[in-house]
Amino acid sequence: MALNIPAIEAQAELHHQYLLGLELMVATREGPEIVGNWMFRLFRRQHEDKFLSSFRKLGLDGLPDAVACAKYHVLSNGVGGVAVEYMEESDTKAWVRFRYPRWMYDGAVICGVPVEASRGVLRGWYGQNGVSLGNPRLGFVCVSEDMTGQFGLCGYFREYDHDLTEDERLVFAPDERPPPFDPAKQPEPPPGEWNAERLAKANRNYAVEYIRNGVRELVNVLGRERALELCHLAARLTGLQHYRHMAEAVGGRDGGPEEAAGFLAAMFAGMGDECRVDPFDDGAILHQTGLRIVRGLEGAERDTLLSCWIEIWRGAVHSQRMFMDVDCTVSETGLVWKITGSSR
């Protein structure tokens, strides 16, 4: 399949927007404590899945732990399109500062996310670094947070001269400030490995992985019925709201069933999925195989995530001027979409 970077980038942005919408929906429907717990579980899952396995890919083996952790967050976030600055004071103290606009809370979304969500992120990931590295002396000191109106998420990894208790692995020091930023010391990925294609795919995978783990962990927090209620509604709204941006990216046209199927096929190519469109008299059928979104998942977990993901695309089709019905059949090998003009 020919590489289609605009479609890959459109998928990255779509999944990012779905994450933001779902986070707002949980915060407004379930409250600060619940969204904070969900973010904790999501980021702990992300940490366990990605943290250690990415060290070698990013060329961080052999560095002091505090330095390696700070550089890791700069490099891994940079691959996902998130701007983070690095400031090193010593082998045992290294800073990270996230710059605005914040990827995690795009645009005005930041105004609707409670501080409990950010602290769930910090506890789930940053406070766990020392544990994962087998270094009980390594912790994170947060000096600024997003929701408090300071200067963005900022803090430093510090290796102490004693083992830390669980409560000491993440602490807050809002009166401290980072040292001056020196762009000459900003870490960069290993040369020759991160071309435009790999960066586009990494950015997409970065956003997609948040959805894969986010839906799973929201089910663990709220139970399947309530989680699906929120996940489905947020997915449908994201598709409705974001259709025009996606269509512009992949050359989609607001028309009838055949145009809608063509739009879906173009977007699914951005996931690396294979598609075939078969038009018929008053509609079109799209056969989709590959399903990167659920790759490696089985059983109820696969079914749950697919049911949410399908709602994104229902919303996208329903955003068009013509009223259309969208039926989707799930099989072990893929999805079959049937799009017809609506009689309603």
Confidence of residue 343 (pLDDT cuts 50, 70, 90): low
Task: Give yes or no for a contact between 198 and 191, defined as CB atoms under 8 angstroms apart.
Answer: no
User: Who's near 316: CB < 8 A, 6+ residues apart?
Assistant: 239, 240, 242, 243, 246, 263, 264, 267
Residue pLDDT, tens place only, 137-187: 999 999 999 999 999 999 999 999 999 999 999 999 999 999 999 999 999
Averaged confidence pLDDT in the chain: 94
What pLDDT, on the 0 to 100 scale, is given for residue 53?
85
Average pLDDT (318-323) is 95
Average pLDDT (297-310) is 96
Confidence of residue 197 (pLDDT cuts 50, 70, 90): confident
Separation CA 231–CA 331 (nearest Å): 21
What pLDDT, on the 0 to 100 scale, is given for residue 333?
87
What pLDDT, on the 0 to 100 scale, is given for residue 1?
42
- Check pLDDT > 90 for residue 245: yes
What pLDDT, on the 0 to 100 scale, is given for residue 320?
95
pTM over 0.85: yes
**In 3D, which of 306, 103, 170, 142 has the Cα closest to residue 314?**
306
Q: Is the peptide bond before 101 cis (omega within 30 degrees of 0)?
A: yes
What pLDDT, on the 0 to 100 scale, is given for residue 193?
67
What pLDDT, on the 0 to 100 scale, is given for residue 50?
87
- Check pLDDT > 90 for residue 332: no
Q: What is the 3-state secondary structure (H, E, C) of the chain?
A: CCCCHHHHHHHHHHHHHHHHHHHHHHHHHHCHHHHHHHHHHHHHHHHHHHHHHHHCCCCCCCCCHHHHHHHHHHHHHHHCCCCEEEEEEECCEEEEEECCCCHHHCHHHHHHCCHHHHHHHHHHCHHHHHHHHCCCCEEEEEEECCCCCCCCCEEEEEECCCCCCHHHCEEECCCCCCCCCCHHHCCCCCCCCCCHHHHHHHHHHHHHHHHHHHHHHHHHHHCHHHHHHHHHHHHHHHHHHHHHHHHHHHCCCCCCHHHHHHHHHHHHHCCCCEEEEEEECCEEEEEEECCHHHCCCCHHHHHHHHHHHHHHHHHHHHCCCCCEEEEEEECCCEEEEEEEECCC
Residue pLDDT, tens place only, 9-63: 999 999 999 999 999 999 999 999 999 999 999 999 999 998 988 877 788 888 9
